[in-house]
Structure 1
Amino acid sequence: MPDGLDLSAEMLVPRKGRGAISNPAVRFEGTARDSFDDGWGTLADLADLPPLPTPLIRETARSALAWNESPDIGFDRSINPYRGCEHGCVYCYARPSHAYVGYSPGLDFETKLLFKPDLPALLEKELSRPGYVAKPVALGANTDPYQPVERSLAITRQVLEVLERFGHPVTIVTKSAGVLRDLDILRRMAARNLAHVCLSVTTLDSGLARRMEPRAASPLRRLQAMQVLAQAGVPVGVLAAPMIPGLNDAELERILSESCKAGATRAGYVLLRLPLEIRQLFEEWAQAHFPDRAARILALVRETRGGKAYDSRFGVRQTGTGAYADMLARRFQVAAARLGLGGTNARSQPLDCSQFAVPAGAKAEQRQLELL
């Protein structure tokens, strides 16, 4: 899509309760579809369409643990109970991964959800393998482990039960106050220095949050969740992410301050990332919701990415480059230091890996041989 944002207004019709405006073609397919107005006003009629349903699709997982070697991520393994996320955050960096299963990173990502009911059993099997070495595992690194469907499926809770039995450390990042459902497990694990939780807060403006993250918990509910977690003895942090130049970045200091008041003791931030299809999705969203400043927002984004929409290089993809990005980084450093907030990186907040052990009740063929 050209940088001039020459999008037709008729094509930018938000769907109620959804973040993405469109459903881009799956990039691995040989054909593509494009919407156009045929002169009969058919695209304008989209505004009257009913809300999109959210079908659930069972996925047979091949493994529980996903591994990465990224030098700018503070963990080397993660667990993702779901593919796709009903929160509908328009900027979500996980959207392009939906193409791997044949669905669009657009509306499909937030309406066609894949769930993995066999994940807890697979996890127990993998943790029981001889030679497994425990390090903190990130729960929900790709999509939110506490999105609405978790209320009924409870796969995340079952995963936490396995991790607790094995004495395995875990870190959680979520936008949902639903994490409080598992406060009993998290309190016990935190008492053993096996768990910490980060709440992602993008904005304190409920109206803006409703547009960017239509089905995520309100900013106030996230702050309240921080407070409950902290009071229960669960180490809690805030991730101000993503910071979007010209849209929500002015809120950075206030987000950190309010989170600190709620009990957060650590903080991090990430600059908006627009890889692959996310660029189109975000441009459409900005034009639909903020037509008066969409061009300015995208220009600032390019300013922090060396003139491009995205720079994927390790070391700069999370924070950007240039004067604007440097200023944002400095603002974060000053605010975090003033508030006494440490880093969210697992390496800077070490959890105890020495307690890991295959429980006696595990099947003999799945657990490590004990030294006699």
Structure 2
Amino acid sequence: MIIGIPKEIKDHEYRVSLTPDGARTLVGLGHRVLVEPSAGDGSGFPDEEYRKAGAQIARDKAHLFAEAELIVKVKEPLLEECPLFRPQQTLFTYLHLASLPQLTKALLDARVLAIAYETTALADGSLPMLKPMSEIAGRMAVQIGAHYLEGLHGGRGLLLGGVAGVAPAHVVILGAGVVGSAATQIAVGMGARVTVINLDLERLRALDALYRGRIVTLAPNQWAIDQTVLDADLVIGAVLVPGAKAPKLVSRAVVSGMKPGSVIVDVAVDQGGCVETIRPTTHSDPVYKVDGVLHYGVPNMPGIVPRTSTLALTNATLPFIVRLSSEGAERAIRSDPALAKGVNLAYGTVTHRGVAEAHGLRFEPLT
């Protein structure tokens, strides 16, 4: 199979979807790997490393899309890339289509087979390709929040962990999945006062046992969420409904009542966000204020640490890329229930219920 590795063009997105070592594995299995020029530069993987691994450097993006049967990306295509797709081509990437109606329509019109990293799920419900980026995003959310709490950057002028005689900042984490757990680890490590709110009580029990009284755990009801957020200095949105829009847990009214200079980092922004006032931002212009509260809504947060992210992502995606390329996409989907769950669009039809419901489109399950 011919596998295409395009250069990411989202704002300040320096990750690449495959390392040279990953390319070497695929070439060794008899596949042809085409890499767009300078696709790996931002992650520290120059073209020469791909050549040494046996990959070929495409003339340009158009050449790569014209040749490749399987397009492997990091982030969802931008609308300007969609005309490059051709019917029956397979796209394998993070998609987050529930919050992207225009992209959903463009990919439906292109009649591609679109498989999303974030909905590819193992039998136990775990999301193997979402997990590494969620771990990174969760850890980074606390670092970024601490940065914007500094007075120099518009925040309340707080040190997250406080000092002797001065209370630490209060970090409220909405969700205790991979993102929330990673955020909790860093927030506790930095000495913050941490409250975690999550629907799954067993997950809260596990965190409570792990941190031995160093965090407060709360079961969610709207009153408890509202009161806890109003007391927060930093709120981290870490809610996930795979493939669907995130529920809105924090209203505009509650945001308006938060302390001036407080910070919201909503990691769920790529699924619409769990804070009513959040909207997607970019690395070039990452924050804005609503009623004196800073909002950070960059959807591709792990792109800030591209080498770590690229290495972690390839570790997770390569086994699935091998299966898709060696068996062919349709056979791989039939034989692998995890990949089947990843299929969001199939040749002009919506095959993921969450995406269909988000846009009022007809849902047609895979047969």
Bigger proportion of residues as helix: 2
TM-score by length of 1: 0.26
